[in-house]
Amino acid sequence: MASALLDRRLLAITGKGGTGKSTITAALALAASRRGKKVLVCEVVANERVANLFGKPASGTEIRLLLPNLYSVHVRPREAMREYALMILKYETLYKLAFENAAARYFLSAAPSLAEIVMLGKVWWHATQEEERGKPRWDLVILDAPATGHGLTFLTVPEVFLQLVQDGPLARDMRDMQSLLGNPDTCRTCIVTLPEEMPANEAIELHKALKAHSLPQGPLFLNGCFEPRFTPQERVAVARGGPALAAAGEAADNHEARADLSSLYASVLGKSVDLPLIKIPFLFDRVFNAQAIEKVAGIIEGAL
């Protein structure tokens, strides 16, 4: 299952805040682009991150080339709303009449999930509708989705919408979106987590919730893992060095403690989550930049 991951049309990456969603998004995008796929990364949270990880300025709402075959765009609610409304209303003047007055703006900002609806709509449009010479413009779209709770709201927007509205152009698009998100051949949602108690528990809950909403999942990424490094003999040898090597001995112990935690949470997650697990090592890079993403991409390529 993991091997075909990059052959989907859409991957959505979610998980607890700060676990490495943008890192994994960037690395997956790099891995796919190296396989000759034309990839678009869509970021939907307030602060754009992925272009920066490749040492490039933020893309903003225009699609920008980051590396050969690898593009990114920042999907923002206001612009997405305007584009989406224009697609339905066709004419700028109609759009202005309908949307650009104070009453409409108030209504739109108060309407629950409207921002999510139009942003997901934009991502879906990139993944399925946009064409270049009769072919889909993108082989793969990777969505750097919001963190856990908001991520779930984001991905279940079509389901919730369709419980309320069944007719009209928006309902039709929502139905198409839901069938894209719910089809394991076209889409996978991947959770990113860390080998620590809170992120691991949150990943387990999120896994259950995605399952309950029939959203097919890709591998679980366990980021920031420590591998055992010192043999017991090596630790004894360092301890024999006396006070001169005390700090080195403590550092080796700390490292092994982190490695034990990594293996503990890998096994906890392995028992509670029926998905392949991809371990990404903790990188000791002093700056987390394109080189770090290269390394993560290499590890993912090896695992897929």
Ligand X SMILES: Nc1ncnc2c1ncn2[C@@H]1O[C@H](COP(=O)(O)OP(=O)(O)OP(=O)(O)O)[C@@H](O)[C@H]1O
Give me the residues that bind Mg ion (CB under 5 A), please.
21-22, 49
Q: How far is the CB of 292 from ligand X (least distance, A)?
A: 7
189 near ligand X, judged by CB under 6 A: no
218 near ligand X, judged by CB under 6 A: no
Rg of the Cα trace of the chain? Answer: 22
Using the minimum distance from each CB to ligand X, give the nearer residue, 87 or 290.
290
20 near ligand X, judged by CB under 6 A: yes
Return the number of other C-beta atoms located less than 10 Å from residue 145's C-beta: 26
282 near ligand X, judged by CB under 6 A: yes
Among 38, 49, 76, 279, binds ligand X (CB under 6 A): 49
CA neighbor of 263 nearest in space, from 227, 292, 290: 227
Q: How far is the CB of 135 from Mg ion (least distance, A)?
A: 30
User: Do the beta carbons of residue 16 and residue 203 sit within 8 Å?
Assistant: yes
CA neighbor of 204 nearest in space, from 127, 268, 128, 140: 268
Q: How far is the CB of 52 from Mg ion (least distance, A)?
A: 10
Partner from Mg ion, ligand X, none contacting 19, C-beta within 5 to 8 A by type? ligand X
Q: How far is the CB of 288 from ligand X (least distance, A)?
A: 4
Partner from Mg ion, ligand X, none contacting 262, C-beta within 5 to 8 A by type? none
Q: What amino acid is encoded at 6 in this protein?
A: L
Q: Which of residues 127-156 bind ligand X (CB under 6 A)?
A: 147
User: Do the beta carbons of residue 88 and residue 169 sit within 8 Å?
Assistant: yes
Longest dimension (CA), the chain: 81
What would the two tokens of residue 108 be? 């739109």
Q: How far is the CB of 287 from ligand X (least distance, A)?
A: 9
Q: What amino acid is encoded at 52 in this protein?
A: N
Q: Which of residues 236-275 bind ligand X (CB under 6 A)?
A: none
DSSP structural state of residue 58: -
Q: Which stretch binds ligand X (CB under 6 A): 1-9, 21-29, 202-210, 258-266?
A: 21-29
CA neighbor of 62 nearest in space, from 43, 86, 85: 43
224 near ligand X, judged by CB under 6 A: yes
Distance (Å, whole) CA 23 – CA 25 = 5
- Residues engaged in binding ligand X (CB under 6 A): 17-23, 45, 49, 147, 223-224, 280, 282-283, 288
